[in-house]
Amino acid sequence: MAHMSYRPEIDGLRTLAVMPVVLFHAGFTVFSGGFVGVDIFFVISGYLISRIILTDVAEKRFTFRRFYERRIRRIIPALLVVILVTLAAASWIALPDQLTDIAKSALAALLSGSNIWFWTQSGYFGANAEFMPLLHTWSLAVEEQFYILFPIGVLVLARLRLPIGLTIALLLIPAFALSVWMSYNKPTAAFYLLPARGWELGLGAVLASGVVPAIRNRRVREAAALAGLGLVVFAIFWIDNSVRFPGWAALLPCVGAGLIIHASGEGGVVQRLLSLRPIVFIGLISYSLYLWHWPVFALTRLYEADIHLGVGHALAGTALSFVLAVLTWRYVEQPFRGNRMPFSRVARTLSGGAVLATVAAGALIISAGLPGRLNDQALRLVAASADIDRLVDPCQDGEDRSDCRFGPALEPVRYMIVGDSHAAALRPAFDRAVEGIEGAGTMWWSGRCAMLDGAVLTFNPPRGCTEFRTRVMEALRQSPEISTVLLAGRWSYYLTGAMPEERGASAAYFVDDQTETPSEEESQLVFERALGRTLDQLSAMGKRVIIAGGVPEPGFDVPHILALAELHGQPSPTIDAADAQAKERMLEDIFRRVTANRPNTYYIPVADAFCAGERCRLLIDGTPLYHDDDHVAAATARGVLGPLLQERIAAAMQPTAPTAPVCAGSTGC
């Protein structure tokens, strides 16, 4: 295998990878697929690093010590600098629990396990992800995990005298199939974890192995390189966070990058374009630029108490990221990467830095995030994130209902609350609402699983939802003493398929046995049909059914945003009432149609308790109404929604009251 000479167009390709990532994270929505730059980096890394490994193995001079020395020189020094600066800045800017999580993520990054850490904490497009300054280190962890396994695999293949390049190429097929399957069934794991990303690095390794024949015809080679550039650019502007990713869509940037690497090395338009000096320079600093940009943006969001960067902050953050990247490349990357510094000195320096970072992170964790920085009001706001009803855990999913009973101790169970986590959050409101009307209560809830009979989500369906619905119905059939069923759920999500905190990601539609083509319009029809089937089953059992309307969803972590605003003297955010009211009107129309001809079935709206005029409130008497980005706090449920539901349920069940009360979330009652 021939030794590889320097190819400036590959540094240019790095620019094509890093700039969309930076601009996408800065909030420039035109680069909707900017996050695919990470996939381009994976292919480049797979090509360059695998070329080194394969050459050394072929020449029988590969050693793990020399290989990992190169990796340490390349990766760790700049990473350590960024981690230490981020911890220092976060200790001033972040809230206590955020600071603790940042410290833990720093430790995970140092141990090349941050992808696993973030997989357990948050989706990449979730609201809290915007405030995680080291979130981007997940991709470094994927690479390092790959380079732990890949050299071992290559050495085994060499020892067995198997064709290395061909074997890797064949393994890409099941690896890619696994990635597609995970993208639809385990989307968060697919985004973060090596099993779904390994084929991208493997694609670069296949190109490095030489198993793909060189393109001899100049015109064909030029066309292939241009096609690759076109695929990459198309992916950057076409893919967005609603696309299942990595999945099939990852073929666009990965195959595009592969074509550029394979076909642009012998002249042509693409090589000349990517070899321009300014483009090459950005590629040279791309690693440091990638490391710095996300902490700069995330820390700015923390300080501004806003998940969105204004244009001014986005431009300033981008400029600052470039300055820090150039300085880090010049004074950290280059000295450590050069062979002038003995590795023993490198190891001592990096070990000292790692110990310092570990001690700093540990100290922050032990000190619970330095809460002394917050005033009393900020501490009260943060504390609201723990205001979760005590029966949420005992009432989830399981068969054992012994701990899920509430109300008068000597009264029999007369009513059941059923639904998803939003139903669980409303339990104190229902408990307050039926005081003096019913006996004791119980609750069945399961995450992202509403009582919509026969409706199935097309994307990332909640495990065991159909079985949960069946168990609930069977429990109700066997409990004739339960006269009332209270239904609640995250209705706007089930109707639109979108979660506000996911910013359009993970859109999911409902289908049932009557669906021909899934779509948003069909999903709404399925919603209505499924709710009707549920109500018919309950009516056949003789149950009275009360459906509580949905609550407005802020799309950001309310206690933390409000506490950050208090800490940094920023204005407190609110919710635009127009969007919340539009969703409520859509739901109201469906609930009215479904309940209109079904006796003993009632729809009770609650959204107007939050929204008045042009804005929806997030606070009452200095206390947050939510404990996260979409669930109401227990105090809100009992103190605000409880009396409202009590009044409206009593009015709805008056003999002269219409079946569906003439009140709506947008107009009040």
364 plus 416 within the same structural domain? no
What's the chain's Rg over C-alpha atoms? 28
669 lies in some domain: no
Q: What is the mean pLDDT of residues 556-565?
A: 92
506: left (phi over 0), alpha (psi -120 to 50) or beta: left
CB-neighbour burial class of residue 597 (10 A; exposed 0-12, middle 13-18, buried 19+): exposed
**pLDDT at position 266 over 80:** no
**pLDDT at position 504 over 60:** no
3 lies in some domain: no
Nearest to 353 by CA among 329, 330, 336: 336
Q: What is the mean pLDDT of residues 549-554?
A: 89
664 lies in some domain: no
Give me 255's structure tokens.
């195959």
Single-letter amino acid, residue 230 = G
| pLDDT grade for 232, boundaries at 50, 70 and 90 | very high
297 plus 438 within the same structural domain? no
Q: Which residue has the higher pLDDT, 259 or 69?
A: 259
120 plus 211 within the same structural domain? yes
**pLDDT at position 663 over 70:** no
CB-neighbour burial class of residue 621 (10 A; exposed 0-12, middle 13-18, buried 19+): exposed
562 lies in some domain: no
| pLDDT for the residue 69 | 86
406 plus 545 within the same structural domain? yes
Give the Cα separation of 425 and 419 in Å (integer): 10
Q: What is the mean pLDDT of residues 327-332?
A: 94
Q: What is the mean pLDDT of residues 301-323?
A: 93
Considering only 157-171, 282-296, 456-470, which range has the smallest mean pLDDT?
Answer: 456-470
Single-letter amino acid, residue 331 = Y
Cβ neighbours of residue 140 closer than 8 Å, sequence gap 6 or more: 75, 79, 109, 112, 114
Q: What is the mean pLDDT of residues 425-444?
A: 86
| pLDDT for the residue 662 | 38
Give the Cα separation of 244 and 191 in Å (integer): 10
**pLDDT at position 619 over 50:** yes
410 lies in some domain: yes
Helix, strand, coil percent values for the chain (each to nearest 5) = 60, 5, 30
Q: How far from the centroid of its chain's Cα atoms is residue 631's Cα? A: 17
Choosing from 318, 349, 373, the residue where a domain stops is 373
Q: Which residue has the higher pLDDT, 461 or 28?
A: 28
Give the Cα separation of 573 and 589 in Å (integer): 30
369 plus 392 within the same structural domain? no
410 plus 266 within the same structural domain? no
- CATH of residue 500's domain is 3.40.50.1110
**pLDDT at position 435 over 80:** no
Are the CB atoms for 502 and 433 separated by under 8 Å?
A: no
Give the Cα separation of 570 and 342 in Å (integer): 49
617 lies in some domain: no
Nearest to 524 by CA among 532, 548, 547, 303: 532
Are the CB atoms for 147 and 52 separated by under 8 Å?
A: no
Give the Cα separation of 545 and 476 in Å (integer): 12
Nearest to 291 by CA among 74, 526, 548: 74
Are the CB atoms for 529 and 514 separated by under 8 Å?
A: yes
pTM, rounded to two decimals: 0.87
Q: Quick one: which H or E segment has residue 288? A: helix 286-304
Are the CB atoms for 455 and 514 separated by under 8 Å?
A: no
Choosing from 373, 402, 427, the residue where a domain stops is 373
**pLDDT at position 507 over 80:** no
Residue with tokens 């540094």: 11
**pLDDT at position 506 over 80:** no
16 plus 148 within the same structural domain? yes
**pLDDT at position 27 over 70:** yes
451 plus 365 within the same structural domain? no
Considering only 145-149, 215-219, 325-329, 340-344, which range has the smallest mean pLDDT?
Answer: 340-344
**pLDDT at position 181 over 50:** yes
331-353 pLDDT, tens digit per residue, is 999 888 766 566 566 566 666 66
342 plus 445 within the same structural domain? no
Mean pLDDT, the chain, as a whole number? 87
Please compute, for residue 259, the number of CA atoms within 13 A of its CA located in the half-sphere on the CB side. 20
- Select, from the ranges 8-22, 341-355, 512-526, the one with the highest average predicted confidence (pLDDT): 8-22
**pLDDT at position 135 over 80:** yes
657 lies in some domain: no
87 plus 173 within the same structural domain? yes
The total number of structural domains in the chain stands at 2
Give the Cα separation of 564 and 32 in Å (integer): 28
198 plus 170 within the same structural domain? yes
| pLDDT grade for 502, boundaries at 50, 70 and 90 | low
| pLDDT for the residue 444 | 92
29-55 pLDDT, tens digit per residue, is 889 889 999 999 999 999 999 999 999
Q: Which domain holds residue 45?
A: 8-373
| pLDDT for the residue 54 | 93
213 plus 328 within the same structural domain? yes
What do you get for the CA distance between the two ends of the chain, in Å?
A: 78
558 lies in some domain: no
Are the CB atoms for 313 and 289 separated by under 8 Å?
A: no
